[in-house]
Amino acid sequence: MIQELKAADGRLAVLIAGVGGAVSTTMIAGVMAARRGLAKPIGSVTQMGRMRRQDGREQLIKEMVPIAGLDSLVFGGWDIFPDNALEAARCAEVLSEKDLKGVADELATIRPMAAAFDPRWAKRLHGTHTLQGATRREMIEHLRGDIRRFMADNKCSRAVVLWAASTEIFLPMTDEHRSLESLDRAIDANNTEVISPSMCYAYAALSEGVPFIMGAPNLCVDIPAMWELAAQKHVPIAGKDFKSGQTLMKTVLAPMFKTRLLGVSGWFSTNILGNRDGEVLDDPDNFKTKEVSKLSVIESILDADEQPDLYKDIYHKVRINYYPPRKDNKEAWDNIDLFGWMGYPMEIKVNFLCRDSILAAPIALDLVLFSDLAARAGMSGIQTWLSFFCKSPMHDFDHVPEHDLFTQWRIVKQTLRTLVGEKEPDYLS
Amino acid sequence: MIQELKAADGRLAVLIAGVGGAVSTTMIAGVMAARRGLAKPIGSVTQMGRMRRQDGREQLIKEMVPIAGLDSLVFGGWDIFPDNALEAARCAEVLSEKDLKGVADELATIRPMAAAFDPRWAKRLHGTHTLQGATRREMIEHLRGDIRRFMADNKCSRAVVLWAASTEIFLPMTDEHRSLESLDRAIDANNTEVISPSMCYAYAALSEGVPFIMGAPNLCVDIPAMWELAAQKHVPIAGKDFKSGQTLMKTVLAPMFKTRLLGVSGWFSTNILGNRDGEVLDDPDNFKTKEVSKLSVIESILDADEQPDLYKDIYHKVRINYYPPRKDNKEAWDNIDLFGWMGYPMEIKVNFLCRDSILAAPIALDLVLFSDLAARAGMSGIQTWLSFFCKSPMHDFDHVPEHDLFTQWRIVKQTLRTLVGEKEPDYLS
Amino acid sequence: MIQELKAADGRLAVLIAGVGGAVSTTMIAGVMAARRGLAKPIGSVTQMGRMRRQDGREQLIKEMVPIAGLDSLVFGGWDIFPDNALEAARCAEVLSEKDLKGVADELATIRPMAAAFDPRWAKRLHGTHTLQGATRREMIEHLRGDIRRFMADNKCSRAVVLWAASTEIFLPMTDEHRSLESLDRAIDANNTEVISPSMCYAYAALSEGVPFIMGAPNLCVDIPAMWELAAQKHVPIAGKDFKSGQTLMKTVLAPMFKTRLLGVSGWFSTNILGNRDGEVLDDPDNFKTKEVSKLSVIESILDADEQPDLYKDIYHKVRINYYPPRKDNKEAWDNIDLFGWMGYPMEIKVNFLCRDSILAAPIALDLVLFSDLAARAGMSGIQTWLSFFCKSPMHDFDHVPEHDLFTQWRIVKQTLRTLVGEKEPDYLS
Amino acid sequence: MIQELKAADGRLAVLIAGVGGAVSTTMIAGVMAARRGLAKPIGSVTQMGRMRRQDGREQLIKEMVPIAGLDSLVFGGWDIFPDNALEAARCAEVLSEKDLKGVADELATIRPMAAAFDPRWAKRLHGTHTLQGATRREMIEHLRGDIRRFMADNKCSRAVVLWAASTEIFLPMTDEHRSLESLDRAIDANNTEVISPSMCYAYAALSEGVPFIMGAPNLCVDIPAMWELAAQKHVPIAGKDFKSGQTLMKTVLAPMFKTRLLGVSGWFSTNILGNRDGEVLDDPDNFKTKEVSKLSVIESILDADEQPDLYKDIYHKVRINYYPPRKDNKEAWDNIDLFGWMGYPMEIKVNFLCRDSILAAPIALDLVLFSDLAARAGMSGIQTWLSFFCKSPMHDFDHVPEHDLFTQWRIVKQTLRTLVGEKEPDYLS
């Protein structure tokens, strides 16, 4: 499956839809700080991750496979607000003024291009820095031009497009999404009911031969039409929905229950957060998209068919509450109702005082760098091996998604080993 | 390594030191209830665990390898209190009267043999049903006789001895423990400072060719002298310290932090429990043994040498508090101080309202049945593959213990596959 | 204000709307158990409460004022399900079979009368034991007949009617509620949009000269028309919404913040519960009624006008989630964002694993017995002194409600002292 | 009892033992910031507290009684480290650099005088800025000189001495403490076993006619000898142990349980903190002093004699754990086991992420200002009305301490009313 693995020569354009958002600015500021030696890229698999080589040595992943260096990255993108990345980062209130100061000059140079936007798809957002009156096809063409221009202006040999903007309203798959031909027809008909703005970004990226990553739970590239386009253009697609806080925890605890054969009768998850993401998700239509993404995890790992005595009656509920006092400092509270030997009940409560963007930033970086690696390795279409980073891993109709974090991690390592032609070391013996 | 795997013919004597304790009576009552179809053996890998065969089928583990059937088990053992198992179970207040009723007749027939006991090794316990005035050598001989007699009386073809009694006071390894010869000398000299009562049980079991399992954190078989004896007698030994509640959680969360490259600055763990175990551990000398067992987990998984930027300054503290209102319903509260991207701090708090014996009972059962399986497969000495069930996995001086629950689980599966001559299925692809 | 205080002679009919609900059956079973010496009436102010007399002695409240004895109570009422109180209590799964056994015979004799019901006011409930096709006026007349018949059949000299049924959908006060005359017109016109079933119970009780208590947050007697009727008939009314779990906690913590001058920026409250109450509140229209009741507490105690620097920007959010695994064992989780000296932030998280009906049952009993006491003392109209027991204390347009639990408690004591002509003892000096 | 109330003319010396500690520097920096309009004195009763006047008006307390203005305060004191208050504040890591900047110049001018210190009384502390080789009597004389000199140098008309230094090791009251005469003999004999350093500060202050406040749980002024001295010199004494976090919560929750007649079977409290206070309390001898202070609260409020059915078997346990990752951000976790109607169990868990010094700073300020007010009002001896601020309220042998926060608060208000000759307004009616 792996062909020639090209070196990471030249500069890599990292183009982000929602470049002024909290995740984007946190990621960019952190990369800049790391380049200057001001901060460690903690949480990043590509930067700090290690694995065991066939010969038994532990080694940094970036020394094993040719990942693009941080120095080669050039950041840009689109946003519905015209603020530069420094202003946007201040507004997001994720990073302290002290941390921003070290990279303020460089951040301020990043100015967003006007966004392809449709307020009906992201209620409660009111941006002005947008392509006015454009049809979906015009949006696509405009974005393609943006990508080409940015690469030329910045002398980039390669690019990746990442969606790190808001969750769009819930959109079930329709006939228009089932083939590239029908998708094209819907675009030409400017059918704004089924063609979301994020699809325009994906379509533009793929058309330009640029990998695309969906960081939100939007349907977007999770449709046959886009798989067809990705195959046609030989580019990787990855996503969806960064697996940052509560779901990360779930994909660790649920495998434990399964492995230890503990029953689960209920799982209640609630979140409070006060950033723009929380504001958007306060709208029921937008939340629906997120809810679908969050709910599948448990039933996928705790298979009621396989262990009906343990998992046939799980009551799983997920809530997200907009709560401004917390800003980006998302807090999750989970209650899990378990039962063990002879059916006796037990409870686990997890209170995660996390930071949404701090957890998501390294995931965004890793998805960008691994997608670029995949492209150089000639891997196209859905990158299932990047499920490790995703709350709702993309998969075609013939496969089921893998949610277990540790199985996902083994798949990452197996893929990297395949890239360099190695086998798994026999470290269990 | 695996020779001929013998079938599980005949009856298996399960002889427990501390047969009247909460874990033992809960385990026994549950097995009896399961035999009568009154309860499911939830939490037991041997009874409900499944794994993928080489041909891709998911199958019950007990259908894949010849595990002794629950119907073939005959329970007995020793205790410092003379109560029968029904009386002891009522006293433990783990199971409801309703659940005990279904198996009361059978439980009442289990009467403990007099225990080898030394109050200096388990402070705060005051038992009377003990071998009075016996030297260590006499204890051993007495216990050997007990084992032989029990097997004969109950027509058992095989036996396993399990320590499910209290944590003994902390004992560092001394020269007496370094060889079988020096151990024998210390026993003959009745050196009660270095020969604990639990060692007498282990010595007796191994001498009789019977597998021995250490369920508490006692030093006991974790010494070269016992390894020598186990090798000489060709019997398996396993342990130590059932991995039930808080540590189970740690061996799941710590691998997540490591895999996701999240830094850890502190981990504070406290427990409240009101059973006899809690009372014993309220004594500093006994707690010391438990503390050592509990502390090594984090530093082993989060390796400061490998990831100094993430794990070099972990402040790890474990507390156990005797708190009678809760009885056996142990409650754990953990606070974990994390840091992520650019060093930003986050916190996770886990509140586990568990039940000590409900979690430990299936582990005790699995260790018994897998140790018997190992014996029939001719596997002798330390059973590292049973680390999955242990807080403080036994290991010789040439190996480091594996604490990660999911790696441990892979080792269990790999061992079982080896027993039946299979390879790992390629389920990742 | 207090006239002659009549003795509690004869039997007291306790007639409950929702007599088969969890709160009702728990209250009734507990009273029966207490009468037989099988349980203590824990949580009940009338049964176990003490206060200081003028002469400095601490004394039981029931020895100070003439409260009806538990032996004099005769229970009855209405329900939309025909089950007797024993069957209903089993269905509620609040009390253990063991506790029910002691009073099973007596519980089984309590059979509900057919309820006045309108499914549009309590969505998700589907009862069959109802007055079919009755107009509002017919409901009232029917209920009046029920009250009279029950009192005669059971030889009761006095009665109290308590609403312990579900929360009705949100109903803002309309013109029809502003005078007795307009209310009567609406009843005669069978205006089912503004006349809720609970109003029929209240109207019937007051018409019969029987005190009425509203245990849910329904509008019901919280309108001028009912105040007029209560005044006309010289009967007390009390409510509304039993202050049981989370709100009880709020009315204790908020006064602490106020007294200690700690600022509050946010208060997030979520609940999980799986009883019928939870199911009803899962409907947005019914929840709205509850939410209004729960929200006012904080802003009332933490007065932004008085302390703008501390309380002007409180973000207060309350959520209730139907979560069947818990049944009646409601669990509340609160997060409070505080700030102190120089504005530094702090957080308090309260996790209350309570039992809805266990907390509410003694409140229901106390409201019944104190309302009867009030009636005997000639106190009519809104009993503000019973605010102590209510989440949303009734008040007329000239007063603001008092929410602080400790101030409420002082008002209870002051009222009782007035009844017996005493002054507050000078216990502070 | 109240004589002429003198006006707060002139400057007030605030002399602090432990002036370089976290509480002291936080308090001083906050007062300086408030004086400059940079911060609000949140949490301070003297600065922001309000109460109702006899005529019904709500008014600021400082407008009702003549409290010394913040502008009149002159800070000084003693410390075992020679750092000035700015350096000390930085070391404490309570306040951000940004907040310190605004008052850095003024803070830097506060230089501690050498402390009277004895390392045997505060294990784990190793200070150098101390009176070397002084006997207890010499310490007292030296401190008296310090007070006089400071007042003269700074042109102060009045002074208050506050102990805000560490908890000393546990000291039970001995015969030497029972009269001023015996105390003097012990001092003259330089009996360092029973005369703690803090007693030297108290003795010096009282001898100079200066009010003394004990902010730690040290025995110190809680002995008849000191009461005698205070009476002789006509000066107020107050304490002990600032009621800041967990105990504050207890004195609010326990009254709620009592008022609502909920039973309590257990209360487990644990704390993690990483400041110097935590380090000192990690020593068992020092912790013993704190434990005694913390334990009495529950049994005092929940009186087992008065309500044996509810409170006779409370298992109360308090733990403090030194946990450096948190620095001053103390975190408390409480588990309370309750029981209600018919004995059914419930649980409350409170997780308080507080900041030790942020909570204590305004208490320290209030105790200073109210002690000065008391002195001007001619109130001498134990100031029981200041119990509101204390974990372990001082009391003589004829009285029991009042722990209930709301009763304490009423006593504060009653005392203030007495000072201005008012009665309690009839706000309950």
What residues of D are in contact with residue C57 (Cβ under 8 Å)?
none
Length of chain B: 429
Helix residue spans in A119-275 (DSSP H)? 136-153, 180-188, 197-207, 224-233, 246-260
Per the prediction, chain D carries an average pLDDT of 93
Q: How far is B334 from chain D (nearest CA, A)?
A: 10
Classify the C-alpha dihedral B289-B290-B291-B296 as positive or negative. positive
* Residue of chain C whose alpha carbon sits nearest to that of D32: C342
Report in angstroms the alpha-carbon separations of A299 from A170, A265, A410, B249, C88.
Answer: 20, 12, 21, 21, 34
pLDDT at A1: 46
Instruction: Please name the member of C272, C335, C337 whose beta carbon is closest to the beta carbon of A268.
Output: C272
**How would residue D1 be classed by pLDDT, with cut points 50, 70 and 90?**
very low
pLDDT at B246: 87
| pLDDT beneath 70, residues of chain B | 1-3, 426-429
8 A C-beta contact, residue C239 and residue C264:
no
Backbone Cα Rg of chain A: 21
Residue A388 has pLDDT above 80, yes or no: yes
What residues of A are in contact with residue B253 (Cβ under 8 Å)?
252
* pLDDT tens sequence across A273-326: 888 777 888 888 888 887 887 788 898 899 999 999 999 999 999 998 999 998
Tokens of C289: 């009624």
D352 contact B CB<8A: no
Per the prediction, chain C carries an average pLDDT of 93
What residues of D are in contact with residue B321 (Cβ under 8 Å)?
268, 270, 317, 319
Domains for chain C: give ranges and CATH numbers.
11-242+358-419 (3.40.50.720), 246-355 (3.30.360.10)
Contact C335 A331 (CB under 8 A): yes
What residues of D are in contact with residue B265 (Cβ under 8 Å)?
325
Name which of D417, D414, D389, D419 is nearest D402 in CA terms.
D389
Contact C319 A321 (CB under 8 A): yes
A270 contact C CB<8A: yes
Contact A340 B362 (CB under 8 A): yes
In eight-state DSSP terms, residue C33 is: H
Q: Which of C316, C323, C337, C347 to mutate to test the interface with A (most CBs of A within 10 A)?
A: C323
As a whole number of angstroms, the distance between CA C34 and CA A192 comes to 68
Beta strands in C55-104 (DSSP E): 58-60, 73-79
pLDDT at D3: 58
* pLDDT tens sequence across A163-219: 999 899 988 999 999 999 999 999 999 999 999 999 999 999 999 999 999 999 999
D7-66 residues touching B, CB cutoff 8 A: none
Residue A240 contacts by C-beta under 8 Å, 6 or more apart in sequence? A214, A215, A216, A217, A218, A220, A221, A222, A293, A390, A391, A392, A393, A394
pLDDT at C365: 98
Residue D429 has pLDDT above 50, yes or no: no
Tokens of D168: 């000393």
As a whole number of angstroms, the distance between CA A358 and CA A361 comes to 6
Tokens of C363: 């409140």
pLDDT at C367: 98
Tokens of A68: 């693009």
Contact B30 A342 (CB under 8 A): yes
Decide: residue B212, CB within 10 A, 0-12 exposed, 13-18 middle, 19+ buried.
Answer: buried
Average pLDDT, stretch D304-325?
Answer: 92
Average pLDDT, stretch C285-289?
Answer: 81
What share of residues in chain A are helix, strand, coil (percent, to 5)?
Answer: 45, 20, 40
Name which of A237, A20, A36, A217 is nearest A115 in CA terms.
A20
Tokens of A307: 């262990």
As a whole number of angstroms, the distance between CA D163 and CA D390 comes to 13
Q: Which of D93, D272, D314 to mutate to test the interface with B (most CBs of B within 10 A)?
A: D272
Instruction: Please name the member of B39, B341, B409 whose beta carbon is closest to the beta carbon of A259.
Output: B409
Q: Which of B269, B326, B336, B338 to mutate to test the interface with D (most CBs of D within 10 A)?
A: B326
For A244, what's the count of Cα atoms within 13 Å in the CB-facing half-sphere? Answer: 27
Beta strands in C170-285 (DSSP E): 212-214, 236-239, 263-273
Per the prediction, chain A carries an average pLDDT of 93
Cβ count near B300 (within 10 Å): 16
pLDDT at B429: 44
Contact C325 A265 (CB under 8 A): yes
Residue A162 has pLDDT above 50, yes or no: yes
pLDDT at C1: 46
Q: Tell me which H or E stretch contains D78.
A: strand D73-79
Average pLDDT, stretch D174-203?
Answer: 96
* pLDDT tens sequence across C197-214: 999 999 999 999 999 999
Decide: residue A306, CB within 10 A, 0-12 exposed, 13-18 middle, 19+ buried.
Answer: exposed
What residues of C are in contact with residue A333 (Cβ under 8 Å)?
270, 333, 335
Instruction: Please name the member of C26, C49, C349 whose beta carbon is closest to the beta carbon of D261.
Output: C49
* pLDDT tens sequence across D196-239: 999 999 999 999 999 999 999 999 999 999 999 999 999 999 99
As a whole number of angstroms, the distance between CA A154 and CA A13 comes to 8
As a whole number of angstroms, the distance between CA C140 and CA C349 comes to 46
Cβ count near B132 (within 10 Å): 7
pLDDT at B180: 97
Angle between helices A405-419 and A246-260 (to 10 degrees): 100
C295-324 residues touching D, CB cutoff 8 A: 306-307, 309-310
Average pLDDT, stretch D263-279?
Answer: 89
Higher per-residue confidence, C123 vs C225: C225
pLDDT at D428: 55
pLDDT at A54: 85
Q: How far is A84 from chain B (nearest CA, A)?
A: 21
Return the residue matching tokens 């007070």.
Answer: D147
Q: Which of B267, B272, B291 to mutate to test the interface with D (most CBs of D within 10 A)?
A: B272
Q: How far is C140 from chain A (nearest CA, A)?
A: 41
8 A C-beta contact, residue C83 and residue C24:
no
For C123, what's the count of Cα atoms within 13 Å in the CB-facing half-sphere? Answer: 11
pLDDT at B329: 87
Contact D337 B325 (CB under 8 A): yes
Contact C262 D346 (CB under 8 A): no
In eight-state DSSP terms, residue C67 is: P
Pairing assessment for the beta strands C236-239 and C315-322 based on DSSP bridges: unpaired
What secondary structure does DSSP assign to A88-122, as a single string? HHHHHT-S-HHHHHTTHHHHHT--PEEBP--GGGS
As a whole number of angstroms, the distance between CA C262 and CA B10 comes to 71
8 A C-beta contact, residue B286 and residue B166:
yes
Helix residue spans in D377-404 (DSSP H)? none
Q: Which residues in B70-82 are b (16+ Cβ under 10 Å) and which e?
A: bebbbbbbbbbbb
Tokens of B326: 């809760």
Give B17's strand partners: B78, B163
Chain D contact partners (≥3 CB pairs within 8 A): B, C
Q: Which of B344, B404, B427 to mutate to test the interface with A (most CBs of A within 10 A)?
A: B344
> How much of chain D exceeds pLDDT 70, in percent?
98
Report in angstroms the alpha-carbon separations of D273 from D280, D287, D319, D330.
Answer: 11, 13, 11, 4
8 A C-beta contact, residue A32 and residue A106:
yes
